[in-house]
Amino acid sequence: MKLLNKIAIVTGGSSGIGRAGAIALAKEGADVLITFRSNENGAIDVKNEIIDMGRKCEIVKADLTNRDDIKNVITHTINIYKNIDVLVNNAGDSNFVEFLDDSLENFNYLFDINVKSIFILSQMAAREMIKRGAGRIINVTSISGIDVNAPGLTSYCTTKAAANMLTRGMAKDLAKYNIRVNAILPGSIDTPLTWRKASDEVIKMTIEKTPLKKIGSPGDIAGMIVFLATDGSDFMTGSLVVMDGGLTL
């Protein structure tokens, strides 16, 4: 087990990429804390699956647009586990809204959940990691931060571009503390969020444009999360790892 007795936080861990990532980290020996916003049943299912492996798992309800909730995630982790080795900033949201119909409220909401939550959580977690001399921060962002591949995504793409640059800035500043910061940029992934937010037409169009002619699975991304959390990625920091089936080629 490559992560035996390591402590990992995974935000948005009740379904999709977060669920797969949390379970994959636990399979490698990590004890995990996951956050959820509304899907408590999903979070409980993940917790039970991880406990059945013989690992520990805590769940915390958190609105990651709320600074007090974010602080509680870190406080709870330290109170229970005494340590943070890995932070996976996976929680996020998207809305398809044509630019002329978009609102500042929507832009601010997406910025809060897709960028500010990463900033605040990472800053708090990094301070704990520094005490122990090392850490890993993994941001699950999107290829939408480097390419606008569908209409109605101006605000979303802007926030993901900011998250990608935030990753690189944190990597530069935290390297001296032996904290590695990398981002995974998924394309279309088969998750509840994808099917809830994107129309069948958009998904079909995306598959047709993708060289591998399919959308990815949460397990595809989970494998990269594990890699970036382990010593195999020891010489990586500030990387933006594209996983999109070739869509952005």
Domain residue limits, the chain: 7-243
User: Which position has the token pair 């591998």?
Assistant: 212
- Domain 7-243 matching CATH 3.40.50.720: the answer reads yes
**237: pLDDT confidence band, cut at 50, 70 and 90?**
very high
pLDDT surpasses 90 at 34: yes
User: Which position has the token pair 């990597």?
Assistant: 171
Q: What is the pLDDT of residues 51-79, one digit of tens each?
A: 999 999 999 999 999 999 999 999 999 99
Q: Which two tokens stand for residue 102?
A: 């978009």
Contacts of 114 (CB under 8 A, 6+ apart): 92, 93, 141, 156, 159, 160, 162, 163
User: Which position has the token pair 């509840």?
Assistant: 192
* Under 8 Å between Cβ of 59 and 36: yes
Residue 75: per-residue pLDDT? 98
> Which pTM was predicted?
0.96
pLDDT surpasses 90 at 163: yes
109 is catalytic: no
CA distances from 228 to 17, 166, 202, 205 (A): 15, 17, 30, 31
Catalytic residue among 81, 109, 156, 177: 156
Rounded to the nearest integer, the mean pLDDT of the chain is: 96
Residue 246: per-residue pLDDT? 96
